[in-house]
Structure 1
Amino acid sequence: DLKGFTSPADIFNLVFFLVAFGVALLHFLLADNDFSRVGAFVANLVTGNLAALPAAGAGTPLLPASVVLLSVLLAYIPLTHMSHFVGKYFAYHAVRWNDEPNLPGSKTEGKIPDLLNKTVSWSAPHIRGDGRKKTWAEAATENPARPEEK
């Protein structure tokens, strides 16, 4: 009963990933398990050398197929909702795991007084900013459950 959560575009995207990386894996396993052909291709690409790569038997068409598929995939990702995996690192992983402890004498401790003196710029009911000039220190030290004094 989860069919409503998976669109045909999602299936296409996953199949595209599997095919592109599957062809690259086949190229590695069958024709270039020391990466010499890929290394030569990248060197030619970076230096602008248009010389053909030496043939390497049965796996010869796999390198160009892999390059084309992975290039198209790289160009296609930003056009889909799957591009979130790039932003997810910066929006979640970097924030979640780059926590620095607030130790006495640390840079973090030195930044806190300046940050607490900034004014609250939004008006959530539990903050009671309401456009007044209120600092984060005031917001952090008052009890939002207590009735507001007028």
Structure 2
Amino acid sequence: MKFGVCIPNYGKTMTVEGFRTVALEAEKLGYQSVWTTDHVLMATQSGTPYERILDSITSLAYLAPLTSTVKLGVSSLITAMRNPVVVAKQLATIDNLSGGRVMLATSVGWNEREFTNLGVNFHDRGKRLDESIRLIRTLWSTERPSFEGKRIL
């Protein structure tokens, strides 16, 4: 069995030092992976701890040169509210720079207001996610990718 730890990249008490320390300690203790949490633009009146949150993908880029063995992932990336071409490029770049340590877990998301804040149709998120996954896989596995979709491009 392999274990990972979700590093708090959010909350009023989150600090860069604490974020870095948790990642380094997880690696030192033999954890297989470290994960960040993803939200882009939560409503300030939502009452969740995600009101102050570092970007999940950029946070992985920060952790990559600080660590050497742990896998790096987002738990879980709300792909339906992002441009999948940019997501594919960002994660492939971090994967390349980290020596192949990036893992991807993806989600449709749950907060309708966050989708509204980003101008993305909440009720279409499942179909957007399916199409995003197809596109990301195509980009990562094809020398000269070609893609036709209904919701994204």
Query: Would the TM-score normalized by the shorter structure come out above 0.5?
Result: no
When normalised by structure 2's length, the TM-score is 0.23
- In terms of fraction of residues, the more strand-rich structure is 2
- In terms of fraction of residues, the more helix-rich structure is 1
When normalised by structure 1's length, the TM-score is 0.23
Answer with 1 or 2: which has the greater Rg: 1
Structure with the greater relative contact order (CA < 8 A, sep ≥ 6): 1 or 2? 2
